[in-house]
Structure 1
Amino acid sequence: MEQQINELFNWLDETSSIIEQEENTPYIEALIASSNLLFEQQVPEDLEPTYHKQLTDKVNQIQFNQYDRESRRKAMQLAILKGMKGATQQHHYITPDTIGVFVGYLINKFLEGEQSYRLFDPACGSSNLLLTILNQQEHLTVDSYGSEVDPTLIRLAFNNTNLQERKIEYFHQDSLKPILLEPVDVVTSDLPVGYYPDDETASSYELKAEEGHSFAHHLFIEQSVKYTKEGGYLFFVVPSFLFESEQKEQLQAFLKDQVHIVGVLELPKTMFKDEKFSRSILVLQKKGENTKDPKKVMLAQLPSFKDVHATNNVIKQIDHWFKNDR
């Protein structure tokens, strides 16, 4: 697989560099064009002859369907990471694969026995988290939805999905405004952290700040609960300080009223350059007629995923929780 990833990444990188140079455009914009070229396998006719030949030669070198889905996703991820190096916006960030794989594992555990479900990511970015999860769930029918406000990221998500030959319905909008979506069985998201600048939209939320800007990550939690069916599950990647901020009482009261807190799994400290950026996976279940609090909340400090023995021990603890404490 590694060879496939390298081959495909090199193709995307070289083709993006040609487009970047010829069109004097940022690498990330060139990557949108090169990934579309890879999918369409067709060069636009109206290009200058030398440039047209360069791109035609590149297209003739490769067929994306020679590569498995995970190789395509990872090659695209590497190219996006290269394009985002030095990008100043904090939201230009990709959820690491290890987190996506672990969230996918948890979804499989909680939905055991289900044949199909509906999945939504309200802050999907370039869709790496959604696609990582879907690639683990080939045995299920999953209707998938993603929403993203950033125009560059939504175009990358769209191309990423085409290259995966997946069907995901996307909403290019501010996800904290109303979304034309029926409630889903599962919401997952790597929550954007920070202040939300639109006070007027925030004013309709229970978790709005008493004064000043509201926390975007709090509003995303509230919006996600709204778009989840009763009894449905939510899997969030959240800052580890979530329950220590100045609006924690407000958040805790909202969660107590609307959901069951099912699990808090602290991600390995080694994944983060600075401890203050450390994150956790928060698992919630929306309250419904037949739901109840778990006997015990699933709590764990996840080890480095490179430590196979320690990771297996945590998996055993989680299996024990499902059998005895759910």
Structure 2
Amino acid sequence: MAEENMQKYYDQLDQATTLLKKSLGTSYVEALAENLTNISDGNVYVENGAPDDSTVSQLKDIYKELIQLHLTQAQLKQAITVNIIKDQRTDNVEVNKLMTPDTIGLIASLIAFEILNSENKKTVNLVDPTVGTGNFLIEFIQQLKQAGDFKINAAALDNDETLLSLTKSFSEVMNINLDAYHQDSIADWDITDIDMAIADLPVGYYPVDDNAKAFETKADEGHSFAHHLLIEQTMNNLNDGGVGIFVVPSQIFQTDQAKKLSAWMVSSVYLQAVLDLPTNLFASKEAQKAVVVLQKHGGNAKQAGNVLMGTIPDTNQPQLFEGFKNQLQDWAQNNFKD
């Protein structure tokens, strides 16, 4: 029955999004974001007569049917993410804007849980500076809340206004309180007092060389790697002892700009973990990604005696994955204990 209701929710939301897309003449993702906001508000937003009365009436009927399905938060999220996947196929989205899989959000939340538990911290000010569709951040928050009684104050930054709007509406439907900022995350931030950052970083060159000038990780010549600048910028904006959990290319320390990144790390942060994500998540070795855990100097922060390294097992291998979780717990207790 649950599976059937999730399928119904997906189908109805897809129908509503196709209707709204046609009526407003927008992309699928813009129509999806507006539908989610409407569902959260319990009303259909109309501006200058759009959408028209007939579409408004149809949308209201669909929203009523959606509410009557009574999905759990987990089921609701799954149904919405399937719509996002459809959107990305329909709108032919570029690689850097593709949705982060739930498994990566789960793994990042496990790492964060053990760190926060060891620090005995129950309130966390969290930021995702490259939030995209919001799936990584929302999955992370959901999993963290399921694992422990945390109060999470979340913020999201992105330079893509459409995706940021989707993140905001997605979080509203999921009852997650989220502050969203439309900006280039390599430019100055307006938010302060941040304990933890998570990011599935876009990979490539950053085009605004003037903005990169102030960064230690900038390239000596030509454009700098955006993901290097984003790591430095994010860590600079954290509180003393703050933790950054970054999804990066596995080859991050083997490129021509890696020396600059490594030199900055030595002077400014503690490298606490480098973990390759399960290989089954990626189509090729070249696409393989890793999780890098950094901690800002200050507070009670110290360099881990042993940097946690290795490849995270496939989550579908319970025995191996349980072993990884035990290893994670020991590492956090040894290096982050309050």
Residue aligning to 1:36:
37
TM-score, reference length from structure 2: 0.90
Residue aligning to 2:262:
252
- Are residue 213 (structure 1) and residue 223 (structure 2) matched? yes
User: Judging changes above 3 Å, is the alpha-carbon distance between structure 1 residues 261 and 13 closer, same or farther for their aligned structure 2 residues?
Assistant: same
The alpha carbon displacement at 1:144 in A equals 1.0
Residue aligning to 1:75:
79
Code of the aligned partner of 2:126: L
The alpha carbon displacement at 1:318 in A equals 2.2
Mapped to 2, the partners of 1:323 and 1:49 lie a distance apart of: 59
2:140 aligned residue (118, 130, 133): 133
Residue aligning to 1:230:
240
The alpha carbon displacement at 1:212 in A equals 0.8
- For structure 2, list consecutive stretches of 5 or more residues without a partner in the other structure: none
For residues 138-196 of structure 1, the C-alpha deviation after alignment (integer angstroms, 9 at most, x for no partner) is 31111111101101101101100110111111110111100111141111111111000
Number of residue-to-residue matches in the alignment: 326
SS in 2 for 1:313: helix
The alpha carbon displacement at 1:5 in A equals 2.9
Mapped to 1, the partners of 2:157 and 2:268 lie a distance apart of: 23
Contact 1:123 1:175 in 2 (8 A): yes
Contact 1:260 1:284 in 2 (8 A): yes
Aligned pairs (5 A) from 1:166-205: 166-205=176-215
Question: Quick one: higher RCO (CA 8 Å, sep 6+), 1 or 2?
Answer: 2
User: Judging changes above 3 Å, is the alpha-carbon distance between structure 1 residues 14 and 115 closer, same or farther for their aligned structure 2 residues?
Assistant: same
Residue aligning to 2:294:
284
User: Judging changes above 3 Å, is the alpha-carbon distance between structure 1 residues 43 and 171 closer, same or farther for their aligned structure 2 residues?
Assistant: closer
The alpha carbon displacement at 1:289 in A equals 5.1
Mapped to 2, the partners of 1:303 and 1:92 lie a distance apart of: 26
Contact 2:248 2:291 in 1 (8 A): yes
The alpha carbon displacement at 1:49 in A equals 4.1
Mapped to 1, the partners of 2:209 and 2:255 lie a distance apart of: 19
- For structure 1, list consecutive stretches of 5 or more residues without a partner in the other structure: none
- Percent of pairs with identical residues: 28
The alpha carbon displacement at 1:270 in A equals 1.3
The alpha carbon displacement at 1:38 in A equals 1.8
TM-score, reference length from structure 1: 0.94
Mapped to 2, the partners of 1:119 and 1:49 lie a distance apart of: 41
Mapped to 1, the partners of 2:298 and 2:56 lie a distance apart of: 58
2:127 aligned residue (120, 128, 141): 120
The alpha carbon displacement at 1:323 in A equals 4.8
Mapped to 2, the partners of 1:259 and 1:64 lie a distance apart of: 50
Residue aligning to 2:323:
313
